[in-house]
Structure 1
Amino acid sequence: MVERWRPETHTFNLCTDEVTITLQDVEVLFGLRVDGEPLYTRYEPPPGSTWVTELTRLTHFVPGAEGQMSGQSRVQISALCTYLEDLDPVQDGTQQDVVDRHTRLYMLIIFGGILFPNSTGAFVCLRYLVFLEHLDWLGDYSWAVFVLAYLYRCLCRASIGAVSDVCGFFALLQLWAWKRMLPFQPVPRHHLDIDMPYARRWDWVGQGVWSSRCPLIHIDIVEDHMPERVLRQFGYTQSIPPDVRHELRHYQRDDWAAVDDEFLAFMAVQLHRWENRLGTLAVVGHLTPIQDYMRWYH
């Protein structure tokens, strides 16, 4: 699949047409919220603090052994797991602040081990602590956008040879391929009621954003959501999409990239685009005969 990924359009180029993972897929397959607040923060920890200090303040975990930290902003996932195993289990009478500390540790493990793993899968970035300060705010964030932006970035960097290993939320990629591409589907182990699709367990509160031409923001990562290139996935006839502008250099950003005035101005524009997400929905224009579209595509 990586060989078929086009970083300039964020689509898989197949022999018949383009397909991709959209916000609709993330919400339907995993129930992650689409329409919410963007998860964006600057790199620096709060003034007068460090990421290790913030980790200790919010979880009471103190990295000490050699190898538990990678640089100043990544902690070893296995060290968090070992620390959790040594803690008393949460019970009905456990104080709320203790429950919150456990929750933050589990969330860091989920972030680094499942949703946003790096190429090693061994460390988690401590910048995610910014979003774990107030646990009651977690339901307000657009987690589907956060997940999809990171997966797009990982696929882009792998497809242009920027990294040797592919990472990201691959359970999403796998289930999307099973759902969208019949040749990839395994034989089901269980027969479900055809009148009750499994995704019906969630309320799709983000349907209005599924086809939005919006930025996907993941802290400092920004990738474009391009539903106009895969209109057939939304039940429409595919027309010839507009040209795209592509800048390869933005894939070079990482945890050590400078946060200068130019980047902050760029992020201000992207946050404004997200606020206007309902005004940039992909629309069905003039219907293109399938022969004209296929001629353009090939």
Structure 2
Amino acid sequence: MSGLAHLIRCTYRFVNKIVVSSFVERWQPETNTFHLTVGDMTITLDDVVTILGFPIVGKSISVQKLSERGAIALVVNTLEIDAQEVRHEMSSARGNLVRLEWLRAHFHNVTDNDSMERIACADLTTISSYTWGVAALAYLYRQKGYASRSGMKKIAGYMTLLEEWIYEHFRGFQPHLNMNYTQDMPHVYRWTSRREFGEKTQLQAFREELDRLFETRTRVAEMSIRITQLRFTTIYLITHPFIEVGYKDSVQHPDILYYAIDAIEQFLQD
């Protein structure tokens, strides 16, 4: 009903701390980009759609900041858990939040065979109409800004999105392919996440690999592209043995491509 059920299957069980750390320390909060030797790169809404299949069009997610009492009441009324238990969990989590392992402890034994009274704890029918992709990306931007500060040792946000984005675009970090992946799945199912060992030495190796990135320009001769009435006999491509600039399966959003083509035509006509 919510449209988010596949997150249970696609969320990585472990966060690859070394891979994430090597990129977060290059995050620039002023521009919301990773500062690399080849230029700046960032996670876009197109990435969110392609990687997770999250909706980026719909109702905006905007809520007022809850007081401690309001947050406890929300969890109690929605999940029907004892207020004292909720208060203790929020105190342990140090904020108006509950931890995923705490939710698992309470609901791990719920199955499809249970009564609807046990399963239905909230109205989920309207959840899919909200722009969860936009909210997830905006929150991740903010948390990477916090984590990039000197002395910070933790980061919040949906790490599966960040980790998968790295795998999609940087070949040297890619883990094993998921042999059960098919083209109609979101790209998050494409890789099998891994844990790194030897944290200090491996982190330094990743840092050095990122420092060695360079941009090469390859002239592709005797190639022509026809965009309506326009013809180019020579094009230039930015290639790199380490970076995947885009998604090579297909054009993910052709309407955006058509808009870009129209813009190019108009620019050349002017």
State the TM bucket, normalised to the shorter chain: 0.5 to 0.7
Please state if 1:24 is matched with 2:46: yes
Name the residue aligned to 2:142. Answer: 153
Contact 1:63 1:69 in 2 (8 A): no
Please state if 1:60 is matched with 2:80: yes
The whole-number CA distance in structure 2 between the counterparts of 1:80 and 1:192 is: 29
Query: Deviation at 1:165?
Result: 1.3
Pick the aligned partner of 1:80 from 103, 111, 116: 103
> What is the RMSD computed on CA atoms of the aligned residues?
3.6
Name the residue aligned to 2:115. Answer: 94
Identity of aligned residues (%): 25
Which blocks of at least 5 consecutive residues in structure 2 are unaligned? 1-22, 188-235, 238-255
Distance 1:169 1:146, change over 3 A: same
Query: Deviation at 1:58?
Result: 1.7
Pick the aligned partner of 1:37 from 59, 64, 72: 59
**TM-score, length of structure 2 as denominator length:** 0.53
Distance 1:43 1:187, change over 3 A: closer
Please give the per-residue CA displacement for 1:181-211, whole angstroms capped at 9, x wherever unaligned.
2222234252867xx46449xxxxxxxxxxx
Runs of 4 or more off by more than 6 Å in structure 1? 281-287
Q: What is the one-letter code of the residue matched to 1:39?
A: I
Q: What is the one-letter code of the residue matched to 1:135?
A: L
Distance 1:166 1:50, change over 3 A: closer
The whole-number CA distance in structure 2 between the counterparts of 1:10 and 1:30 is: 20
Name the residue aligned to 1:273. Answer: none
Distance 1:82 1:183, change over 3 A: closer
Contact 1:6 1:12 in 2 (8 A): yes
SS of residue matched to 1:69: helix
Pick the aligned partner of 1:6 from 6, 24, 28: 28
SS of residue matched to 1:18: strand
Contact 2:90 2:98 in 1 (8 A): yes
Query: Deviation at 1:142?
Result: 0.4
Name the residue aligned to 1:69. Answer: 90
**TM-score, length of structure 1 as denominator length:** 0.48
Name the residue aligned to 1:295. Answer: none
SS of residue matched to 2:98: strand
The whole-number CA distance in structure 1 between the counterparts of 2:110 and 2:33 is: 47
